[in-house]
A and B are shown apart, each in its own frame.
Chain A
């Protein structure tokens, strides 16, 4: 069931990539930030599915880096004229 949940969430990442490619810059950053929790959920589901709780650290790192990356993109948008 956990693998099915992880597989069902993969089209969400594809939709975020499509939205990121189609929209303007602020909308693209919003799509990028939306992909972060989706990927985190996929990694959490895979970690429980494989019964390896150590793999949850990857989800933790992804959620932290997603936040930092999006703040960097927002800062670069602020600096653009």
Chain B
């Protein structure tokens, strides 16, 4: 296996393991704010590693699309995270205090 093949394999492993850990964390954690941490991690690290592997190994026509996909995910993920956190905070502040 060449050096680029090794790098590609490592990047694929990083992408798969990080995405699976984030999905496992979604099931493990009950609080919505804990889940938001994992949601933002799933939208940044895994797709970036996979797109880097595509840039290294994939056909040249696939590289711009992979970069655009990651850019879109990197822009959209914080927006959705902030929106969900805002709604969750607003709804939790409306709930009556438990004694």
Is B96 an interface residue when CB atoms closer than 8 A count as contact? no
A contacts with B: majority SS: helix
Contacts of A2 in B (CB 8 A): 12
Report how many A-B pairs have Cβ atoms within 8 Å: 146
- CB nearest neighbor in A for B58: A48
- Expressed in whole angstroms, the minimum distance between the Cβ of B51 and any Cβ of chain A is 7
User: A39-50: contact bitstring with B at CB < 8 Å (1 yes, 0 no)?
Assistant: 011001101100
The docked-state distance in angstroms from the alpha carbon of A51 to that of B59 is: 8
Contacts of A64 in B (CB 8 A): 72, 76
Task: Indicate if the CB atoms of B80 and A33 lie closer than 8 Å.
Answer: yes
Binding site for A on B (CB under 8 A): 8-9, 12, 15-16, 19-20, 22-24, 26-27, 30, 32, 35-36, 38-39, 42-43, 46-47, 50-51, 53-54, 57-59, 61-62, 65-66, 68-69, 72-73, 76-77, 79-80, 83-84, 87-88, 90-91
